[in-house]
Structure 1
Amino acid sequence: MERFFFVSVFLLLLLLLFVQTNISFAFPLSTDSRWIVDDGIKGRRVKLTCVNWPSHLETAVAEGLSKQPIDSIAEKIVLMGFNCVRLTWPLYLATDESFSGIMTVRQSLRKFGLFEAVSGFQANNPSILDLPLIKAFQEVVTCLGNHRLMVVLDNHISQPGWCCSDNDGNGFFGDRHLNPNLWIKGLMKLASMFANVSSNVVGMSLRNELRGPKQNIKDWYKYMRKGAEAVHSVNPDILVIVSGLNYDTDLSFLRDRPFEVSFRRKLVFEIHWYGFWSSWEGDNLNKICGRETENIMKMSGFLLEKGIPLFVSEFGIDQRGNNVNDNRFLSCFMALAADLDLDWALWTLAGSYYVREKTIGSDESFGVLDLNWSSIRNSIILQMISAIQSPFRGLMETQPKKIIFHPSSGLCIVRKSLFQLKLGSCNRSESFKLSSHRVLSLTEEQIFCLKAYEIGDPVKLRLFFSESYCSKWKFLSESKMQLSSFTKNGESVCLDVDSDSNNIVTKSCKCLEGNASCNPKSQWFKLVTSTRSRCKTKPFLRISPYSKTFLHKPLSV
């Protein structure tokens, strides 16, 4: 099975080798305006591209350790292109000594009748099986550090178990399982446990998905500020990551009242975004994506405009690939994640759980790994997500440019030949400029502009003698992602992708209004700001429009 895993990711790895090099960061991390940066002289941007590894369920043990050796799991995380793990933990792991300090992994598994899992531990991770639960948690952090993976500790819940519901007693301060003083005690214990020891622990999420009937803004400010100050007081190196209200979807109250703490350059806010929270099938998809994107910006995205870091600490989809609602959501998410160049954490690494809500060996359809934690569940989805694993932008060390991103594939528009375009790796993307006169031209070779011909034909680059030689382009629909122009016969067309060749073509614009069953995703394109260094390829034509050798007759293309 191990061999099958590595074979299944071989092609993906070829892509990731171009997308993500093995960069060493200077820890600890800090913030610089809206960016997370390292502690080096230049303060390079560090983009958190994490995967969630649950360790908060009933057993309070990191999932999957009965299926695969811990080093094998860590290697898989690295091979899949993630640089970080958001490691969840229940509050009682830090505050209940009789539970975490005495109970071993073996005892916890046996408590729930998980005898097969005990046998799995004996085969795959025998050195962890008889450790106390808190020591087993530390072993996971240490192993991730050995594989150069950053860790964000996430206080996911208080009483170990599946999260979440409004009335589970874990939702808000004052609930049965969320005593504010005990919560602060637990945060301080975990933060101090890894202070000056585990440099790969780069951040701590104070509390996952605050919710329920008791939630209110006044107590949110009161207790989240206390929690933030407490964590920073015992471990000033780590990022303090603060969640909002309503299942971590609402930070809108920060627009009018800032979150004031005594420390600087360590504060990050987090949000969650899932497709199953809304219907993506009951209306025009352009309209839904436009509406949901606008809502995200209103509820949390405005923080970036204020120069405050925002971390999408949970998003995810059904990895089986047959959930229409999730698939539609993912394309819209990819567009916004690329446009804003967000830090993020995918839910989830787990292919299965020891026990979830009394179901032993529960399969996790959102898991990037399969039931046995041995293979990628869906390499197509993972390849798509790999497009946003490397930063599009840094701290503007290089001149920013605009590239054209295709969110439903995770690819960008690249040069196929002198005059033809196709989809390819964003590291090879051409840079474009959309002028005030709506001419779309190449930035580096400004003598070329984009020209639409007939419906169904490839769109081509044309020599740019004057604007009359070029098509005029504008973004249509409520998604603002359909690039539209007119053919020489006056027919309205949009950029599209030929499914057989990946060539960029023009077709009749889809789904501009109405028709909930219509799917416009192949026509979604996003002009994304990028400072990525382009893979060095020789320009197809390097010539100045002012050169004496400039061609005075247009080529027939």
Structure 2
Amino acid sequence: MISRSIIIALLASTTQCLLRPSGPFHTEGKRIVDVTGSPFVYVGINWPGEGETMIPEGLQYSSIADIVAQIKSLDYNSVRMGWATEMVDDILDNGGDVSLKDTMVKALGLELAPSIIGQILDHNSDFTENTTRLEVWDAVAAELHNQKLHLVFNNHVSKAIWCCSPDDGNGWFGDTYFDVTKWKRSLAYMAKYTEKWPARTAFSLRNELRQVNSPANDTYGWSLWYNEMIDAANIVNAAAPDALVFISGLNYDHELNPITAGAAVSPPEDNRVFNLGDFHYADKIVFELHSYDNSIANCTFFQDELYQRGFNALDETPQTTARNIAPVVLTEFGFAQNGSDYQGIYASCLKDFLTGDNRVLNASRIDGPIGHFEWNLGGSYYIREGIVDFDDWWALLNHDWSDWRNHTVLNEYQIPLIRETLLQR
């Protein structure tokens, strides 16, 4: 008989092989494929970096290397990180990139910033007060590559504030802070800049487009989405042809139909259809969706809704309702870590959906696991919604980033989800 220790070692070896594919990636039908021809599934966590300071969160509590090691310890193979258009506006319009000292003072004020800066420098000795924001991002990207993790770099907001609501000014093209020209300029700039980051294997165009409480809402819908998102995708591919291009939908990215279905975008006024065959880089396009359907009461209904909203693009059966077959990644989902939410219908049903266990109705026609990024990693924010050192009960890490917030949830939900997804690839 094979001993238990040998079985564990074999499983660990198998997992490690799955964690170390070779980029850049391309797509073949519903699959993401590496340069060796092997399929790859993104299994990761969101690490916010789009807030008021415009650098990744948590560096006052831990080093970059230790944070990345914590991510890697769970067998995640990737990280999704958000950045703000405002950072590029500063570089191009306001005299250049901003130092660590200046960004902290601006966000936290003269009284609070010095102690936070000191803590960041204590944990990250390669930095000084004059280290720029992009240099911080360079260090994060380098460490992700060093520890063999992939980065999905996501334009999360225009103005660097907490996302997302109908009145935050970031929600739709032409909204209070959402200058479309500057957004596209920032996409081109960061797509080109991040070419030097081997870890960056995918570039996401925009986070959670939505209806807004401003005059911009008069144009909300698929027609303007079609105009702006296709143009943005073209811009990113031209600047970074190696990168996968993640394309999000409407309604806080809960909806990609009619795009995956290849139906008219807004009949009868606009009968254009999204057709992957129209793109010379069709093998770089990935769809992304979010799910925060925490109040659902029926798993069968929920999974069928997910299918119809855009996961039908993973269905290659003759009965599919999708015309555009492509990879779909659930780039955000989550729930509070301090209670029993992980046992609820939403979390348990979603886990079954992502791993391929007990898929129901139309979703049962999707073969294999689905890539995903849980929201979120960090237990606290430098500042969020006006609160300094904001504590986040949705985060996997505790407040000071020293340990996991809830080992029961981790052992009964996150770890099985990660490993089942990777081993069923």
Against the structure 1 CA distance between its residues 68 and 99, is the aligned structure 2 distance closer, same or farther, given a 3 Å change threshold? Answer: farther
Distance in 2 (CA, whole Å) between partners of 1:373 and 1:14 is 29
Is residue 16–residue 81 contact of structure 1 (8 Å, CA) maintained in 2?
no
Distance in 2 (CA, whole Å) between partners of 1:82 and 1:16 is 15
Aligned-partner residue type, residue 404 of structure 2: I
In structure 2, runs of 5+ residues without a counterpart are 1-7, 264-272, 316-321, 357-365
The one-character-per-residue Cα deviations of 1:233-276 (angstroms, maximum 9, x if unpaired) are 01100000000001000111111132443322100010001244
Q: Is 1:198 paired with 2:174?
A: no
Distance in 2 (CA, whole Å) between partners of 1:14 and 1:378 is 26
Q: Please tell me the root mean square deviation across aligned C-alpha atoms, in Å.
A: 2.2
Is residue 75–residue 419 contact of structure 2 (8 Å, CA) maintained in 1?
no
Aligned-partner residue type, residue 315 of structure 1: F
Write the mapping of 1:301-450 to structure 2, written as runs, cut at 5 A. Answer: 301-305=311-315, 306=322, 307-323=325-341, 327-339=344-356, 340=366, 341-383=369-411, 384-390=413-419
Is residue 70–residue 143 contact of structure 1 (8 Å, CA) maintained in 2?
yes
Aligned to 1:54: 48
The one-character-per-residue Cα deviations of 1:322-360 (angstroms, maximum 9, x if unpaired) are 448x73311010111111511111111111001001101
Is residue 20–residue 389 contact of structure 1 (8 Å, CA) maintained in 2?
no
Distance in 2 (CA, whole Å) between partners of 1:294 and 1:100 is 50
Is residue 354–residue 421 contact of structure 2 (8 Å, CA) maintained in 1?
no
Distance in 1 (CA, whole Å) between partners of 2:373 and 2:225 is 23
Select which of 291, 300, 303 maps to 1:293: 303
Aligned-partner residue type, residue 154 of structure 2: D
Against the structure 1 CA distance between its residues 361 and 39, is the aligned structure 2 distance closer, same or farther, given a 3 Å change threshold? Answer: same
Cα deviation for residue 141 of structure 1 reads 1.1
Distance in 2 (CA, whole Å) between partners of 1:250 and 1:275 is 12
Aligned to 2:266: none
Against the structure 1 CA distance between its residues 275 and 216, is the aligned structure 2 distance closer, same or farther, given a 3 Å change threshold? Answer: closer
Distance in 2 (CA, whole Å) between partners of 1:203 and 1:390 is 22
Select which of 20, 23, 30 maps to 2:26: 30
Cα deviation for residue 19 of structure 1 reads 6.6
Aligned to 1:235: 240
Is residue 92–residue 100 contact of structure 1 (8 Å, CA) maintained in 2?
no
TM-score (norm 2): 0.82
Distance in 1 (CA, whole Å) between partners of 2:90 and 2:28 is 37
Is residue 375–residue 394 contact of structure 2 (8 Å, CA) maintained in 1?
yes
Select which of 289, 306, 313 maps to 1:271: 289
Aligned to 2:15: 20
The one-character-per-residue Cα deviations of 1:105-152 (angstroms, maximum 9, x if unpaired) are 122112213333222112111433421112222221112111111001
Could you say which structure has the higher helix fraction? 2
The count of corresponding residues between Structure 1 and Structure 2 is 372
Cα deviation for residue 174 of structure 1 reads 1.4
Select which of 251, 257, 272 maps to 2:256: 251
Is residue 289–residue 329 contact of structure 2 (8 Å, CA) maintained in 1?
yes
SS of the residue corresponding to residue 299 of structure 2 reads helix
Is residue 353–residue 361 contact of structure 1 (8 Å, CA) maintained in 2?
yes
Distance in 2 (CA, whole Å) between partners of 1:122 and 1:351 is 19
Is residue 252–residue 299 contact of structure 1 (8 Å, CA) maintained in 2?
yes
Aligned to 1:146: 146
Distance in 1 (CA, whole Å) between partners of 2:71 and 2:96 is 29
The one-character-per-residue Cα deviations of 1:491-518 (angstroms, maximum 9, x if unpaired) are xxxxxxxxxxxxxxxxxxxxxxxxxxxx
Aligned-partner residue type, residue 75 of structure 1: A
The one-character-per-residue Cα deviations of 1:81-104 (angstroms, maximum 9, x if unpaired) are 111010110011123226693421
The one-character-per-residue Cα deviations of 1:278-316 (angstroms, maximum 9, x if unpaired) are x24xxxx4xx21111111111112111243110100011
Against the structure 1 CA distance between its residues 200 and 364, is the aligned structure 2 distance closer, same or farther, given a 3 Å change threshold? Answer: same
Distance in 2 (CA, whole Å) between partners of 1:381 and 1:293 is 22
Aligned to 1:80: 74
Aligned to 1:552: none
Could you say which structure has the higher strand fraction? 1
Aligned to 1:63: 57
Distance in 2 (CA, whole Å) between partners of 1:130 and 1:62 is 17
Against the structure 1 CA distance between its residues 15 and 217, is the aligned structure 2 distance closer, same or farther, given a 3 Å change threshold? Answer: farther
Distance in 1 (CA, whole Å) between partners of 2:415 and 2:62 is 24
Cα deviation for residue 170 of structure 1 reads 0.8
Distance in 1 (CA, whole Å) between partners of 2:169 and 2:13 is 46
Against the structure 1 CA distance between its residues 63 and 70, is the aligned structure 2 distance closer, same or farther, given a 3 Å change threshold? Answer: same
Distance in 1 (CA, whole Å) between partners of 2:341 and 2:386 is 25
Distance in 2 (CA, whole Å) between partners of 1:249 and 1:136 is 32
Is residue 255–residue 310 contact of structure 2 (8 Å, CA) maintained in 1?
yes
Distance in 2 (CA, whole Å) between partners of 1:294 and 1:32 is 25
SS of the residue corresponding to residue 418 of structure 2 reads coil
SS of the residue corresponding to residue 46 of structure 2 reads strand
Against the structure 1 CA distance between its residues 61 and 16, is the aligned structure 2 distance closer, same or farther, given a 3 Å change threshold? Answer: farther
SS of the residue corresponding to residue 282 of structure 2 reads coil
Is residue 100–residue 134 contact of structure 1 (8 Å, CA) maintained in 2?
no
Aligned to 1:109: 104
Could you say which structure has the larger radius of gyration?
1
Distance in 2 (CA, whole Å) between partners of 1:270 and 1:29 is 16
Against the structure 1 CA distance between its residues 32 and 93, is the aligned structure 2 distance closer, same or farther, given a 3 Å change threshold? Answer: same
Against the structure 1 CA distance between its residues 91 and 15, is the aligned structure 2 distance closer, same or farther, given a 3 Å change threshold? Answer: farther
| Larger RCO, structure (CA 8 Å, separation 6 or more) | 2
Is residue 19–residue 390 contact of structure 1 (8 Å, CA) maintained in 2?
no
Cα deviation for residue 68 of structure 1 reads 0.4
Distance in 2 (CA, whole Å) between partners of 1:313 and 1:15 is 30
The one-character-per-residue Cα deviations of 1:464-509 (angstroms, maximum 9, x if unpaired) are xxxxxxxxxxxxxxxxxxxxxxxxxxxxxxxxxxxxxxxxxxxxxx
Is residue 275–residue 317 contact of structure 1 (8 Å, CA) maintained in 2?
no
In structure 1, runs of 5+ residues without a counterpart are 1-12, 394-426, 428-529, 533-557
